[in-house]
């Protein structure tokens, strides 16, 4: 029996990249996975020039041994998200895993550009696409978990640290996703529903491969463009990280925290598709001669015990 056989998962933003990798690896572990996104066959998402579709992702889930279900959803439209969750309730009667990987900010990041030269409109779109969508999706999906007092919420971010990420809007977005996991965990602290954040390392996504002019078969040639690419990982690596978390009966001990694919690989013993265990932090320290600044217990210490939790220990009221 596969570890997630009988489990129901929703991967919001499953069209490509980490979302596709997570969906397929949840399938590998036996889960039924609702794969959502805006790009379907014959109808790509507005403004996108990519070939990937949610139908392809669902087919990969099924090919891996799970059951993939493609549903076109614009997660910025609350009515569509509400309808999706009603469908999951009607068809499956439960939800065990929610993965918030909605992004859509590839063309908006403006990395390396100081904030006073960045587009305010790009920042607004990024916040709406990659933060507000997560809030909307959790708002309507998490009640399905609370009905059974069980579940895992995964916020997909970039980096398991609190350091600057190279552009104001991008930095705020990725830190906000980490904070979403933490804030949800505080509201959920008297339940058996766990919220946390997960990051991949240097992600060898479809778009990244194209940008480096390589295919998965010769991906190492991408290191000629950027040496750090040699430490990259496939989207399946973070996918196996999420599958391992979903199968862990003690996952609640990680509530509110951000954790990396490479850290979880060492703890749970899984590998990337080629049998390797990429470790971005070790590569970083060896290459740059500096300590990797992971968000450890000390980094999180000031996040707990805030004035509201001290003055109003029973808040929120369920």
- 10 to 36, 148, 153: CA distances (angstroms): 8, 16, 10
Residue whose C-alpha is closest to residue 102's, from 156, 33, 44:
156
What is the Cα–Cα distance from 3 to 248, expressed in whole angstroms? 9
Task: Say how far apart CA 2 and CA 29 lie, in whole Å.
Answer: 5
Clarify whether 170 is annotated catalytic: yes
Catalytic, out of 164, 170, 283, 288: 170
DSSP state of 6: T
Instruction: Select from 209, 203, 237 the least CA-distant residue to 221.
Output: 209
For tokens 């008297």, name the residue.
190
Q: How many CB atoms lie within 10 A of CB 254?
A: 20
Q: How many whole angstroms separate alpha carbon 144 and alpha carbon 154?
A: 15
* Cα gap 202→14, rounded to integer Å: 18
The set of catalytic residues is 170
């Amino acid at each position: 029996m596969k570890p997630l056989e009988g489990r129901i998962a929703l991967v919001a933003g499953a069209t490509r990249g980490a979302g596709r990798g997570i969906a397929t690896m949840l399938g590998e572990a036996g889960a039924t996975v609702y794969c959502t996104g805006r790009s379907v066959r014959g109808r790509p998402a507005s403004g996108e020039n990519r070939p990937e579709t949610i139908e392809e992702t669902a087919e990969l889930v099924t090919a891996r041994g799970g059951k993939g279900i493609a549903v076109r959803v614009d997660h910025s439209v609350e009515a569509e998200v509400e309808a999706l969750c009603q469908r999951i309730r009607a068809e499956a009667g439960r939800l065990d895993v929610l993965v918030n990987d909605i992004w859509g900010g590839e063309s908006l990041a403006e990395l390396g550009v100081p904030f006073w030269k960045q587009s305010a409109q790009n920042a607004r779109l990024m916040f709406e696409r990659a933060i507000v969508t997560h809030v909307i999706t959790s708002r309507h999906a998490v009640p399905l978990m609370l009905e059974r007092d069980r579940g895992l919420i995964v916020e997909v971010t970039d980096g398991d640290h609190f350091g600057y990420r190279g552009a104001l809007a991008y930095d705020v977005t990725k830190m906000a996703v980490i904070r979403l996991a933490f804030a949800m965990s505080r509201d959920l602290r008297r339940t058996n529903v766990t919220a946390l954040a997960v990051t991949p390392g240097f992600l060898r996504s479809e778009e990244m491969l194209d940008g480096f002019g390589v295919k998965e078969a010769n991906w190492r040639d991408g290191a000629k463009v950027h040496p750090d690419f040699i430490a990259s990982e496939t989207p399946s690596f973070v996918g196996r990280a999420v599958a391992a978390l979903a199968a862990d009966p003690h996952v609640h001990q990680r509530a509110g925290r951000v954790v990396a694919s490479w850290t979880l690989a060492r703890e749970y013993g899984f590998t990337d598709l080629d049998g390797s265990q990429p470790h971005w932090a070790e590569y970083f320290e060896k290459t740059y001669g500096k300590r990797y600044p992971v968000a450890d217990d000390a980094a999180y210490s000031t996040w707990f015990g805030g004035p509201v939790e001290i003055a109003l220990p029973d808040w929120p009221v369920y």
